[in-house]
Amino acid sequence: MKILIIGGTGHIGSFLVPMLADKAEKVIAVSTSRTSVEAAGWENVQLVRAVYKRNDREWNDFINQIEFDVLIDILGSDVPATYEAAKPHCKHYIACGSVWMFGPPRVAPTPEITQGPCPFEFYATRYGELLSTQERAESDTVAFTAIMPPNICGPGKIPLDGHGGRDLEVHKAHMQGKPVKLFHGCNTLIGPCDAEDIAQAFFLAVCKPEEAAGEIFNVGSAYALSAVQFIEAYGEIYNSKIPIEFVSREVFLNSVLPDPDANYHFTQHMLPDISKIRSKLGYEPKYTAEETMERAVKWMRDRGLL
């Protein structure tokens, strides 16, 4: 089996590539950056650099000229065009989406179905493209799978902070015990999922193509934390008491976190239903929400960021 991974040196890819290195005859990791990898499991991996852009002829030609059986598209910049370029020799196309694409959740845990209009144009466009490519692949008899993670956490990236971003300075404020503001009655569920667990989902889809074909799978931790528990978890990790100051919802949305990308984390539940991937592929998360947050903080400390 020959596997091509787009985004192979990124947060998820850095865990996924070593998992697949022993499984496949050949693994080709495509990186859009100049990242080099010198780690266990990468010795026999071919690293290729290419720029992944929408509506780019050079990118499509690049995909069309590589021989592979499975394509894992973690970046998902242009799934329809990349699928068309890969279709002549691809047996299984596995794309990465996001649970945000389903729109504001009506229920939690949230299943892999549309909940409502997605308020973010980028995600809404990509979701439509995933669904159309799923239909196209079915008519072409090509296996297609989409993996939908929630907030990605764990070693390799600054984790979500108490202000709804990935800001190192906010994490330093958490470490110093500076207060965080939430709105009265905020019981929103936040479910950080370790990048290694997300990589496991892609790995299982590769190992069980018949079970994965035609499916959209949520992936996530076994449980989520309330917004208050999320802040308290950082307090325990940083060994600091982080006071929570409650304000009205109006003040929170208009003054505290007016950016929709930031306040969405605290206004909409992020607890994906992972029962389907458990039953069909045997997925089980290795890390709890608190453990993956702690792993991310340790990664920051090990690299001298904190």
Q: What is the pTM of this model?
A: 0.95
Q: Which of 47-61, 184-198, 273-287 has the lowest mean pLDDT?
A: 47-61
C-alpha pair distances (Å), 106 with each of 21, 115, 117, 156, 182? 40, 6, 11, 32, 21
Give the model confidence (pLDDT) of 199-249 as tens digits. Answer: 999 999 999 999 999 999 999 999 999 999 999 999 999 999 999 999 999
pLDDT for 87 equals 95
For tokens 């325990």, name the residue: 236
**Cβ(293)–Cβ(233) under 8 Å?**
yes
Q: Which residues contact 35 (CB under 8 A, 6 or more apart)?
A: 9
> What is the pLDDT confidence band of residue 78, given thresholds at 50, 70 and 90?
very high
| Residue from 37, 34, 47 nearest 14 by CA | 37
CA distances from 93 to 59, 66, 87, 138, 176 (A): 17, 14, 9, 11, 45
- pLDDT for 32 equals 78
Tell me the pairing of strands 216-218 and 180-183.
unpaired
From CA 210, how far away is CA 182, in angstroms rounded? 45
Q: With bands split at pLDDT 50, 70 and 90, how would you rate the model's confidence at 22?
A: confident
Query: Other C-beta atoms within 10 Å of 205: how many?
Result: 27
The C-alpha atoms of residue 221 and residue 290 are separated, in whole angstroms, by 10
| Average pLDDT value over all residues in the chain | 95
Residue 40 has pLDDT above 70, yes or no: no
Domains present along the chain, CATH in parentheses: 2-152+193-221+271-287 (3.40.50.720), 168-189+224-270+296-302 (3.90.25)
Selection from 169, 163, 149 nearest residue 94 by Cα: 149
> Residues 142-200: pLDDT tens digits?
999 999 999 999 999 999 999 999 999 999 999 999 999 999 999 999 999 999 999 99
Query: Rounded to an integer, what distance in angstroms lies between the CA atom of residue 301 and that of residue 304?
Result: 5
pLDDT at 14: 92
